């Protein structure tokens, strides 16, 4: 009996040793019925390069197995034909005819719910937040054992503060009441770095929600709860770089998974060489291939394996969670040809998906260069619907803080809008006055509540998709340098906070004045056909006044809106006869904020540093 047990133990042990652990198979599962039948699995395990692969499942074909430089990887090409049905099947890894390991792969049915992947348009109002700094809904995940960052410290702007996805879920009613229709969080996926990775842009696992924020399942629940409230979701994604803590960077499939240089080379942060017909090839390469910072390796997007990995990951998240739109980080730093192909592949799977790219550039022409329809000097279409409108932001600051001149003050704003002819559709651009990388709006306008209201009025009536940075509605302030205080916690998001700004009772009188203004105008915008999808007509500024109209085309129901900006320190009288083209026989209007009736027969009084939003009768 004893000998028999020994023999069984030896056989069991030998069999266990024969099994090879697969550390990663990505994507972990997929869906039947995708438009693109091709799927490339990244398989990672110790010394698996010589293994053959076998599978037998109706509608799924094994096309090719790729060996690469690193023996710890295989890339497996599959074809998921139209005949494939949802179900599980084994993928076997063989060595000299002997099964070494097996992975149970699953094809799921696609979710065809009407509420999924709605798209984000100029009908929406986006709220940008940093989950680590918004609200801590689950203190149990503040510090997660095994991760590189081992503590939380709210007294430092460079450590984790404990905010999470549950914290956002807990305040969906607040966002809804503010008039928000769409939530954009900075990246939620794992950033397992030693420090200062709370922002989310140093990914270390593309397929995993950071455990300090929650789980993949919780993220999916979050999207569902947002949709149930009648709101939408934007996911922030990063093509350009990863964190040095990424498991792939620690054991790369091949050397050129990231862009390599003889010595460390940082990007120039200059977008001009990408579009400059006279640019140096070296300048262009440095912009596109230089590393963002030493802790964020620059991905080689010309590598077809990298391309497949990123594209499939983004498709996976959209299909898995039902995301409505994507914000593309550092768009101008990415390989242009790959990004154009990427956009086509995602639109093929999700026709209603909205996409906009971050373009912190210095001219309207530069912004427009990256958008779809502009093929001059590149020979292909980017297929990028819209961008973050940095030039509009700069123009609004000049309009509110500058002095009126031929091209200064309100004329800067007028001039920027007049260049909308450069875009295929400027209403797809996201307009904003601040974000997590910039000084806060309220500080830049010197904490002037009148300028604040003017800025919010323009944000919510201008063409494009308005975006508000968290806390702007309650006058959160600070400058981007030197201490990163623009990323301060939302007061009331943590148990024990002395103030709760999520409630009217917790806000000061001035904060409530700001919140009431934003929410009232945002709610009005949500019901106004003119502000959502109406056309725009602007008039050359005169006497310190800038006037534009959002109007409804013939055959549609609703009322037109007139916006009057007085950026000067004294009240003005606006002669309305000049605007007969849009006002026609209108003799009265309603002030959208105050509800007061305004006589528009001859003149309109405009207080100093005020923007009037008038609904024309």
Q: At what angle do helices 449-461 and 390-401 cross, to 10 degrees?
A: 140
- The answer to whether residue 408 sits within a structural domain is no
Q: Do residues 553 and 584 share a domain?
A: yes
Which pLDDT score, from 0 to 100, does residue 5 have? 45
Same domain, 66 and 131: no
Cα gap 413→540, rounded to integer Å: 10
Q: CA-CA distances (angstroms) from residue 238 to 91, 340, 493?
A: 30, 15, 27
Domain for residue 401, yes or no? no
Residue 14, pLDDT score: 39
The structure's pTM equals: 0.95
> pLDDT confidence of 555, banded at 50, 70, 90?
low
Q: Is the model's pLDDT at 17 over the cut of 60?
A: no
Residues 163 and 101 in one domain: no
The dihedral through the CA atoms of 604, 605, 611, 614 has a sign that is: negative
Our count of domains for the chain comes to: 3
Half-sphere exposure of 569 (CA within 13 A, CB side): 4
Kindly report, residue by residue over 480-534, the tens digit of the pLDDT.
987 789 999 999 999 999 999 999 999 999 999 999 999 999 999 999 999 999 9
Catalytic residue among 188, 358, 389, 560: 358
Would you call 420 a catalytic residue per the annotation?
A: no
pLDDT tens digits along 289-343: 999 999 999 999 999 999 999 999 999 999 999 999 999 999 999 999 999 999 9
The predicted pLDDT at position 114 comes to 66
Domain housing 576? 535-616
Q: Is residue 8 pLDDT above 50, yes or no?
A: no
Residues 302 and 334 both lie in one domain: yes
Tokens describing residue 93: 């890894």
Cα distances (angstroms) measured from residue 517 to each of 241, 452, 590: 39, 10, 16
Interatomic CA distance for residues 474 and 542, integer angstroms? 33
Relative to beta strand 98-109, strand 603-606 is unpaired
**Whether pLDDT at 9 is above 60:** no
The pLDDT score that the predictor gives to residue 108 is 98
Parallel, antiparallel, or unpaired for β 354-357 and 386-387? parallel
Judge if 436 and 489 occupy the same domain: yes
Task: Note the pLDDT of residue 113.
Answer: 78
| 329 part of the active site | yes
Q: Please report, for the domain that includes residue 484, its CATH number.
A: 3.20.20.80
Backbone angles phi, psi at 166, to 5 degrees: -60, -35
Is residue 12 predicted with pLDDT exceeding 50? no
Query: Are 60 and 146 in the same domain?
Result: no
421 alpha-carbon distance from chain centroid: 25
Residue of 88, 80, 87 whose CA lies nearest to 104:
88
Residue 2 falls inside a structural domain: no
In this structure, the answer to whether residues 302 and 380 fall within a common structural domain is yes
Domain CATH for 540: 2.60.40.1180
Distances in Å between the Cα of 584 and the Cα atoms of 412, 532, 551 are 28, 22, 12
> H-type helices in 322-426, by residue range?
336-349, 364-369, 390-401, 410-418
Catalytic entry in 236, 319, 329, 615: 329
212 and 270, same domain (yes or no): yes
For 93, the 3-state DSSP assignment is strand
Contacts of 603 (CB under 8 A, 6+ apart): 573, 574, 575, 576
User: Which CATH number fits the domain that encloses residue 93?
Assistant: 2.60.40.10
């Amino acid at each position: 009996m004893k000998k028999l047990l020994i023999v069984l133990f030896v056989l069991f042990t030998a069999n266990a040793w024969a099994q090879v652990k697969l550390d990663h198979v990505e994507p972990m599962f997929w869906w039947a019925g995708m438009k693109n039948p091709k799927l490339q699995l990244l398989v990672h395990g110790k010394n698996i390069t010589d293994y053959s692969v076998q599978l037998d499942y109706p509608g799924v074909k094994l096309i090719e197995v790729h060996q690469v430089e690193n023996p710890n990887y295989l890339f497996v090409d599959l074809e998921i034909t139209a005949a494939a049905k949802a179900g599980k099947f084994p993928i076997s890894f063989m060595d000299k005819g002997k099964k070494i390991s097996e992975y149970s792969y699953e094809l799921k049915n696609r979710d065809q719910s009407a509420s999924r992947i709605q798209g984000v348009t100029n009908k929406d109002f986006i709220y940008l937040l940093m989950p680590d700094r918004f609200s801590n809904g689950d203190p149990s995940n503040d510090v997660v054992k095994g991760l590189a960052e081992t503590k939380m410290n709210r007294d430092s702007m460079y450590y984790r503060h404990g905010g999470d996805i549950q914290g956002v879920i807990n305040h969906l009613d607040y966002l809804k009441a503010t008039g928000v229709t769409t939530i954009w969080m900075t990246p939620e996926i794992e950033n397992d770095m030693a420090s200062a990775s709370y922002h989310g842009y140093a990914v270390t696992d593309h397929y995993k929600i950071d455990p300090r924020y929650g789980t993949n399942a919780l993220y999916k629940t979050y999207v569902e709860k947002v949709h149930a409230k009648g709101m939408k979701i934007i996911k922030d994604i990063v093509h350009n770089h990863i964190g040095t803590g990424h498991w792939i960077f620690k054991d790369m499939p091949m050397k050129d998974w990231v862009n390599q240089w003889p010595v460390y080379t940082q990007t120039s942060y200059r977008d001009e060489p990408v579009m400059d017909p006279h640019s140096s090839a070296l300048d262009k390469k440095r912009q596109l291939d230089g590393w963002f910072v030493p802790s964020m390796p620059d991905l080689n997007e010309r590598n077809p394996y990298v391309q497949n990995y990123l594209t499939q990951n983004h498709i996976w998240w959209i299909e898995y969670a039902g995301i409505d739109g994507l914000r593309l980080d550092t768009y101008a730093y990415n390989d242009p040809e790959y990004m154009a192909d990427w956009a086509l592949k995602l639109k093929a799977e999700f026709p209603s998906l909205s996409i906009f790219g971050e373009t912190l550039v210095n001219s309207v022409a530069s912004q427009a260069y990256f958008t779809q329809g502009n093929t001059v000097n590149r020979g292909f279409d980017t297929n990028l619907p819209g961008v973050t409108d940095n030039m509009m932001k700069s123009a609004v600051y000049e309009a509110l803080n500058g002095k009126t001149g031929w091209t200064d003050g309100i004329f800067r704003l007028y001039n920027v809008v007049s260049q909308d002819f450069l875009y295929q559709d400027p209403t797809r651009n996201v307009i904003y006055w601040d974000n997590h990388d910039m000084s806060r709006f309220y500080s830049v306008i010197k904490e002037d509540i009148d300028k604040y209201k003017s800025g919010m009025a323009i944000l919510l009536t201008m063409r494009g998709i308005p975006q508000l940075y968290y806390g702007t509605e309650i006058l959160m302030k600070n400058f981007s340098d030197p201490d990163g205080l623009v990323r301060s916690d939302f007061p009331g998001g943590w148990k024990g906070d002395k103030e709760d700004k999520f409630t009217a009772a917790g806000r000061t009188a001035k904060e409530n004045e700001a919140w009431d203004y934003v929410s009232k105008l945002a709610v009005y915008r949500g019901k106004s056909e003119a502000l959502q999808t109406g056309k725009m007509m602007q008039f050359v500024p005169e006497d310190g006044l800038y006037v534009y109209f959002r109007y409804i085309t013939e055959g549609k129901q609703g009322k037109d809106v007139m916006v009057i900006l007085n950026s000067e320190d004294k009240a003005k009288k606006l002669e309305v006869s000049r605007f007969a083209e849009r006002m026609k026989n209108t003799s009265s209007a309603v002030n959208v904020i105050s509800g007061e009736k305004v006589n528009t027969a001859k003149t309109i009084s405009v207080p100093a540093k005020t923007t009037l939003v008038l609904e024309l009768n």
